[in-house]
Amino acid sequence: MPVPDSATFARMLDAAQQGDYALASINVTSSNTINAALAAFAETKTDGIIQFSTGGGEHASGPVKNGAFGAQALAEYTHQIASKLPVYVAVTTDHCVPGKVDSFLRPLIAESTTRVAAGRAPLFNMHMFDGSELSMKANMETAKELLALLAPLGIVLEVEAGVVGGEEDGIDNSDADHSKLFTTPEDMVFVYESLHAIGRFTLAATFGNVHGVYKPGNVKLEPTILRDGQEAVVAKYGPSAKLDLVFHGGSGSLISEIHETLEYGVVKMNVDTDCQYWFSRPIVDHMLKNYDGLLRIDGEMGDKKVYDPRSYLKKAEASMKQRVIQASTELRSVGKTLYPA
C-alpha cells in the first residue's frame, strides 16, 4: 500500500511538520520520470510525493489531448509500481488555475468519488487549486467549494495565496505585480479562517519565490514572511492552527534559505525544472556521442544498441533519480519513511 491512504498521508504531513523537514514533490510527465522519482525514494527509504500538472497530464494523454485523462493514467501507473516499494509515495496534482477547474479537477474528483463509493481509496491524496489570479475573497470562495468536495473523500486541498513569479507549464507570472510575490500575515490568517473548519489543506504562501531556472543567489527570497504569517495565525488561534506550508519555485534557492523555510512550517517542496534538466542532459550526451550509430548514414544501418530508446532513457532516469535524492537530502527527509520496516 505504498500510495498512502488518507490517514497515512496525514501522518506524513504531521511528521514533516513536527520534524522540521519537507517531502520532495516531483513533477512528472511520463512513466520514465515517475520511475526516476520512485527509484530515488525507494533507494533512500524516503517518503515523497509525485505530482502532475495540467500540461503534464495533457502530454501523457497522447492523442486524447486531455489533461485529466492523462493525469488519471499517470496516477494509476504510479499506484501500480509504487505498490511494490517499501516507502510511501503520495499522488497529487499541481497548479490548476480557475479556468481549468471544470476540465481538470472536477473529472479527477469525480473519479475518486466513484472509487470511494465502491469502497476503494481515492486516486489522489491531494489536489491543488491555484486561485492566485483572483482576489483573495474569490480565491477562497472557490477553495471552500472544492475542499467541501474533497474532505469527505479524505483528499487534502493545496491552495495558493500570492503569486509565484516566473513561468512554468503555461502559467506566466513574469510580469506580476511585485507586491503579489509576498503573502501577507493577514492573507495567511484569512486562508486559515476560510478553510480550517472544512477539511485539511496546505498553503503555498509566496515569499519572493519564482518558477524557472536561476543561478543560486539570484532569487531574492524573504523566508521570514512565512515566520511572520505563522506567528499571526498561532497568536490568534493557538499552536494547533500552525499551517502546513508548501514551497513553490525553489530553483536557484540557497540551501540555507531552504532550511530556514523548514523551521517555519514548510512540509512540501515542489521540484520540477531541475529534474527536467537532469533527465534531458544524459540524452543529449548520448545523442552527441553516438551520432553515427543513431542515424543510417551512407547506406549503413546504424547501431540498434544506441538508437533503442531504452539505452538513453535508462540514463535519463538514473540522472533524474540523483536529482530527486539531492532534493530529499536538502529537505532533510532522506531515510524518514513511515513505512513499517
Separation CA 66–CA 19 (nearest Å): 39
Q: Say if residue 110's pLDDT is above 90.
A: yes
Task: Report how many helices (DSSP H) and strands (DSSP E) the chain contains, helices first.
Answer: 13, 10
More confident residue, 176 or 228: 228
For residues 85-109, give the mean pLDDT.
97
Q: Say if residue 42's pLDDT is above 80.
A: yes
Q: Say if residue 17's pLDDT is above 60.
A: yes
Residue 173 in domain? yes
Q: Say if residue 169's pLDDT is above 60.
A: no
More confident residue, 163 or 166: 163
By mean pLDDT, which of 62-71, 83-92, 216-225, 288-297 is the weakest? 216-225
Share of the chain above pLDDT 70, in %: 90
**CA 26 to the chain's CA centroid:** 5
- DSSP letters for 75-125: HHHHHHHHTTSSS-EEEEE----GGGIIIIIHHHHHHHHHHHHTT---S-S
At residue 208, the 3 state secondary structure works out as coil
Determine if the pTM surpasses 0.85: yes
Q: How big is the CA angle at 169 (ends 150 and 319), to the nearest 5 degrees? A: 100
Whether the Cβ atoms of residue 330 and residue 4 lie closer than 8 Å to each other: no
pLDDT band at 1 (very low <50, low <70, confident <90, very high): low
Q: Report the pLDDT value the prediction gives residue 301, as an integer from 0 to 100.
A: 86
Residue 313 in domain? no
For residues 294-323, give the mean pLDDT.
93
Q: Is 47 a catalytic residue?
A: no
Share of the chain above pLDDT 90, in %: 82
Whether the Cβ atoms of residue 142 and residue 129 lie closer than 8 Å to each other: yes
Residue 276 buriedness (CB in 10 A; 0-12 / 13-18 / 19+)? middle
- Domain of 218? 6-283+321-330
Residue 214 buriedness (CB in 10 A; 0-12 / 13-18 / 19+)? middle
- The grid coordinates of residue 295 equal 542515424
For residues 199-209, give the mean pLDDT.
91
The domain total for the chain is 1
Residue 109 in domain? yes
Residue 196 in domain? yes
Separation CA 231–CA 235 (nearest Å): 6
For residues 13-26, give the mean pLDDT.
98
Residue 148 in domain? yes
Q: Report the pLDDT value the prediction gives residue 210, as an integer from 0 to 100.
A: 64
For residues 263-279, give the mean pLDDT.
95
Q: Say if residue 203's pLDDT is above 90.
A: yes
What digits encode the pLDDT tens for the residues 304-318? Answer: 999 999 999 999 999
Q: Say if residue 165's pLDDT is above 60.
A: no
pLDDT band at 180 (very low <50, low <70, confident <90, very high): low
Mean pLDDT over the full length of the chain: 92
Q: Report the pLDDT value the prediction gives residue 11, as an integer from 0 to 100.
A: 98
pLDDT band at 219 (very low <50, low <70, confident <90, very high): low
Measured CA to CA in angstroms, residue 160 lies from 67, 95, 130, 182, 204 at distances of: 21, 9, 5, 11, 5
Residue 42 in domain? yes
Q: What's the CATH code of the domain at 169? A: 3.20.20.70
Residue 22 buriedness (CB in 10 A; 0-12 / 13-18 / 19+)? buried
Q: Say if residue 178's pLDDT is above 80.
A: no
Residue 337 in domain? no
pLDDT band at 64 (very low <50, low <70, confident <90, very high): very high
Q: Say if residue 176's pLDDT is above 70.
A: no
More confident residue, 66 or 212: 66
Neighbours of 340 (CB within 10 A): 5
Q: Say if residue 181's pLDDT is above 80.
A: no
More confident residue, 178 or 148: 148
Which are the contacts of 236, defined by CB distance < 8 A and separation ≥ 6? 189
For residues 50-57, give the mean pLDDT.
97
**Which position among 47, 94, 130, 244 bears the catalytic label?**
94
For residues 278-283, give the mean pLDDT.
98
For residues 286-306, give the mean pLDDT.
90
Residue 263 in domain? yes
